[in-house]
């Protein structure tokens, strides 16, 4: 959405199949930038990932139950008024064999496919 230096209240529409992201804390919400997107209708603007679903009974002294999901917040390009919609991403665990001497990995994906890597220990 282009900046107009004004505040708008926008209620994102749910993903048609999966609804809304569940309530969460200690999650990641970051801007999402891409040059082109042949998979989605619209423009992804933010990525929401992981987060604590159920808090620990001992509060901050322990870890609760975490979500294992990721969602894109997508803005529509087909209307003149801003509209947003949640799109749930397919999350898969990939086991990548990393050679001992190498520090980086290169994955070959079919043309037109996009991969988002989220690294960290939750």
pLDDT tens-place string over residues 69-91: 999 999 876 666 668 999 999 87
Read off the pLDDT band of 103 (50, 70, 90): very low
pLDDT tens-place string over residues 2-44: 667 888 788 899 999 999 999 998 888 998 877 655 556 678 8
Predicted pLDDT of residue 95: 57
pTM, whole model, 2 decimals? Answer: 0.66
- Give the residue, 102 or 73, on which the prediction is more confident: 73
What are the respective helix, strand and coil percentages of the chain, to the nearest 5? Answer: 0, 25, 70
* Structural domains in the chain (count): 1
**Looking at the domain assignment, is residue 2 inside a domain?**
no
CA within 13 Å, CB half, 69:
17
Read off the pLDDT band of 62 (50, 70, 90): confident
Strand partners, 74: 44, 85
**Looking at the domain assignment, is residue 1 inside a domain?**
no
Cβ–Cβ < 8 Å for 52, 23: no
| Range of the structural domain that residue 38 is part of | 7-92+101-122
Predicted pLDDT of residue 17: 95
**Looking at the domain assignment, is residue 58 inside a domain?**
yes
**Looking at the domain assignment, is residue 63 inside a domain?**
yes
């Amino acid at each position: 959405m282009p900046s107009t230096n004004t505040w708008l209240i926008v209620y994102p529409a749910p993903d048609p199949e999966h609804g809304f992201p569940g309530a969460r804390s200690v999650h990641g919400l970051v801007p999402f930038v891409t040059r082109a997107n042949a998979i989605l209708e619209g423009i992804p603007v933010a990525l929401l990932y992981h987060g604590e679903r159920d808090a620990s009974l001992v509060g901050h002294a322990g870890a609760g139950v975490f979500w294992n999901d990721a969602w894109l917040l997508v803005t529509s390009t087909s209307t003149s008024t801003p509209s947003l919609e949640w799109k749930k991403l397919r999350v898969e665990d990939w086991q990548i064999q990393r050679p001992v001497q190498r520090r980086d990995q290169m994955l070959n994906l079919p043309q037109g496919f996009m991969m988002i890597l989220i690294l960290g220990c939750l």
